[in-house]
Amino acid sequence: MKKHFNLKSSLKNLFRIDSIRASKLLEIGQFTILAFILGFISGSVLNDYAPVFQFDDDPKQSTSELLADVLTNVFLISICLYYSHKILDIIRHEVPFLFSLDKRYVPCMKNECIVGITLGFSLSFLSSMTDFRDKVKKLHEKLFHPGKKPDN
């Protein structure tokens, strides 16, 4: 049977503040900070050591070479994200949730920790990967604005 949508009760639930909601928000914050640190470290390492097919400032770099370079980086990012998630999953099970305000609260029951991990990791990881951002921007210019920078 389909549940009837009730706007008033949905809004009341959205803005509800209680110890369980506060615990959820604190858990998201805890995992955002942990993932931010791990993402920053792994993004910085990958930014410094990711392989490059050709020098990025070479005007003769073809679109296909640049695309291969970007896709290689995407593959390495996915591997890094996979193992970072594994590390954070170990931490999630080994490091207790520090800020539970209610004994009834079950950590990560509705994936609050995953929200924090995704947020923290994506903010720091992609921000620390300046070379990758530059390559994607250059690829975008080559594909969608070919008149600006001709493909030699």
Tell me the residue ranges of DSSP E strands in the chain: none
**Dihedral sign computed on CA atoms, order 127, 43, 79, 84:** negative
- Residues of the chain with pLDDT below 50 are 149-152
Task: Give the per-residue pLDDT at 129.
Answer: 86
**What angle, rounded to 10 degrees, do the helices at 130-144 and 63-94 form?**
140
Q: Which amino acid is at 125?
A: F
pTM: predicted TM-score of the whole model, two decimal places: 0.70
Taking the C-alpha atoms of residue 148 and residue 141, their distance in angstroms, rounded to an integer, is 7
